[in-house]
Structure 1
């Protein structure tokens, strides 16, 4: 599968980390990329970095938690640039949440960006893709959505919701000509993971992760995963009996 001729790929959360690396990889392939994030300066530097590549990157500053702004942005992109053939809904964030400092507001913030941000994009995109009976949606979740892990009560819950959302939409959209994929990365070296103060097994450079992501977009797989060894370990973890599961996850609880 490739990007349909005269269509564009829209990537949210494209200013830094994995989203940025993927935008550049797509532009190297000659694809027309629309890059969205809240930071205009990062997007403009991304577009400048792609100036000599086969494709092009057009900045589209956007806060995906603003449903009206998302709808307006999609309308503008399709009217002035190209129909969205592929949408990579990647905008998201992480905030560790411990039992001792649990705040509902922290969970709300993660759900608002990581889940409702994707839902806002889907609301704007689905009628257009369904009408064309063509399109590909890649919803970026995480292996943290497989099972509850210490300090991830908000982040993991949000990513589990994204996985469930993709699974729920796929059967119906298959019949309507729209492809849905869920993307479950392990640890990827980004400004977000640079803040982590715990071991990150199989930490993957962003460019390598973007290459794996790009290959996944060109496949018919429902789930795109990387790095594979870590993902398989996480899949094994989630099917263990709770007695064994908690025996292992307790070892990762920070000592006080």
Structure 2
């Protein structure tokens, strides 16, 4: 389904975005890759068969507007941006929280504000939003990250509700822990952590399906999806102290936490 189709991956300079670029290239897709790090982006593009690169800062409206003038026609967009800092309400860090909301949610709003009308006008398109298991329910230490990913996931559901009778396909894909140079700095256990390559395979499988929402890896993801039905006090007890909780996104997490009963 990807052969000769043009996909724009935003957040493609490392981690899951990089792995997706390589796998989509192998499946015959034409790629446009975006991220803030132009040098790293160029290296990924070379490994993905000479994909086009459009450096982009999703937190800057002018940068997004400029990128859209250079993108051209698209068949699909994958929003794979992830910024993370563990921030509990007891130690509110305004700059960090705002940065997470800007990158993880408002950046998607800026991009989709251009892309979705294009897809609607031509009557087809594929929107893929990379959320997080952390977006399913409020977690300790996740004032910025969990909330921004939850907003992104809710946006995806709203898009699907509006576009369900069209030929536009909208999907929200929520990974757990993914091994990156940043999560390697963590000194705690991360349950069922996956390599970017394995995580990308899961994302590709989801993209080939018609599911709006995909959560992985199983059975780890069941703790979050079924956890939404637990009483809040029990859920929080299961997910531990603020400094030991929030799973990183599937994109480029800046840190993560572990899961389990409170110590």
Does 2:107 align with 1:113?
no
Q: How does 1:1-256 map to 2 (within 5 A)?
A: 2-3=1-2, 5=4, 7-51=5-49, 56-78=50-72, 83-250=73-240, 253=243
Tell me, what secondary structure is at the counterpart of 1:3?
A: coil
Larger proportion of helix:
1
TM-score between both structures, scaled by the size of structure 2: 0.87
Counterpart contact for 2:32–2:52, Cα < 8 Å: yes
Write the distance in 2 (CA, Å) between the matches of 1:212 and 1:242: 30
Write the distance in 1 (CA, Å) between the matches of 2:143 and 2:103: 15
Write the distance in 2 (CA, Å) between the matches of 1:49 and 1:123: 30
Question: After superposition, what is the alpha-carbon deviation per residue over 1:152-198, rounded to whole angstroms, capped at 9, x for unaligned?
Answer: 12100101111111111111112232111111001111233223333
Write the distance in 1 (CA, Å) between the matches of 2:148 and 2:170: 18
TM-score between both structures, scaled by the size of structure 1: 0.89
C-alpha deviation, 1:4, in angstroms:
7.0
C-alpha deviation, 1:216, in angstroms:
1.2
> Comparing both chains, which one has the higher relative contact order based on Cα–Cα distances under 8 Å and sequence gaps of 6 or more?
2
Structure 1 unaligned blocks of 5 or more: none
Counterpart contact for 1:182–1:222, Cα < 8 Å: yes
Tell me, what secondary structure is at the counterpart of 1:84?
A: coil
Tell me, what secondary structure is at the counterpart of 2:219?
A: helix
C-alpha deviation, 1:139, in angstroms:
1.0
Tell me, what secondary structure is at the counterpart of 1:112?
A: helix
Counterpart contact for 1:137–1:181, Cα < 8 Å: yes
More displaced, 186-195 or 244-253? Answer: 244-253
Counterpart contact for 2:177–2:191, Cα < 8 Å: yes
Counterpart contact for 1:93–1:192, Cα < 8 Å: no
C-alpha deviation, 1:252, in angstroms:
6.4
Tell me, what secondary structure is at the counterpart of 2:239?
A: helix
